[in-house]
Structure 1
Amino acid sequence: MKKIFFTLAIAVVTVLVSCKPSTKEQNASQDKVQDAKENVQDAKDSLAVAKKEANAEEWSAFKSQTDSVINYNEARIAELKLKMKNTGKTMDDKYEKNIGALEQKNKDLKIKMETYKNDANADWQSFKREFNHDMGEIGQSLKDLTVDNKK
């Protein structure tokens, strides 16, 4: 009976000792995992800061450029209105409506630019693409308006 009890005790001790992980290895691996997590978080933070700074620079350049185009459009519309008044003859209602529509679109673009919030949640590329498309349409409409298609 002593032999069975002794064999069973050795087996239990062996199982317990072999199942217990090495605390030094476990602590070292946990430290490495924690360091890796911190490095990943630092990299994410650095990327977010760099992206925000790049977007801020790009935003200010884009805003400056679009403001000058909007101002040019305003001047061109004012010039067309003046030309319409100076001709002395009655302009087509369609011509007047087109000028009014272009003026409204230009004002809408100006408001859209002023109300846009350049933050991390905003879809900057989508806004820029859409805004440039709308500005291009106004520019083309202004060119088309001054071309005399009547022969």
Structure 2
Amino acid sequence: MKLLSTIPIVALVVMATYTSCKTPAEKVDKAEEKVIEANQNLEIATNDYLVDIEKYKIETANKIAANDKSIADIKVKVLSQKEDVRDKYVKRIEKLERKNTDLKKRMDDYKASGKENWEHFKLEFKSDMDDLGKSFQNVFINNVDV
């Protein structure tokens, strides 16, 4: 009787062991599949990162173009000012133009060099763009340096 209850247990253990064992070829195939999948995931991540760069460059180009328009509008307003006041504003406008041009050049010169570097660059660049935006708002405030 004891033998009869032991046989199914032994058979179950043997079957479980047999089905869980993979041949070396099966293990290699599985490893190759994992490598292919990892490469595909890496390619997707790389493409997403490069797409993010291009989208940000387009957004930035639009903001810089808007800044150029704002500079032109400010120049028109300054022309109606008295000469002594106008000179002060002309210097502020030139400073804004330099900052805007420098930001455009920095973005145009950016070369993809890894996602981490991109995130750092983007964060720093956004801060500089925000500062420039504040400078535009403060151009006609007398006690604020642009």
TM-score, length basis structure 2: 0.69
1:27-46 equivalences under 5 Å are 28=23, 30-46=24-40
SS at match of 1:145: coil
1:60-139 equivalences under 5 Å are 60-91=54-85, 94-118=88-112, 120=114, 123-139=117-133
Report how many aligned residue pairs link the two structures: 124
Inter-CA distance 38–94: structure 2 relative to 1 (3 Å threshold): farther
- Partner in structure 2 of residue 21 of structure 1: none
Tell which has more relative contact order, 1 or 2 (C-alpha 8 A, sep 6+).
1
Runs of 4+ residues deviating >6 angstroms: none
Aligned equivalents of 2:50, 2:105: Cα separation in 1: 19
Inter-CA distance 44–146: structure 2 relative to 1 (3 Å threshold): farther
The two structures, once aligned, show a CA RMSD in angstroms of 2.8
Structure 2 runs not aligned, ≥5 long: 1-21
Aligned equivalents of 2:118, 2:30: Cα separation in 1: 31
Structure 1 runs not aligned, ≥5 long: 1-26
Larger radius of gyration: 1
Larger mean Cα displacement after TM superposition, 77-86 or 44-53: 77-86
For 1:90, the aligned partner's letter is D
TM-score, length basis structure 1: 0.67
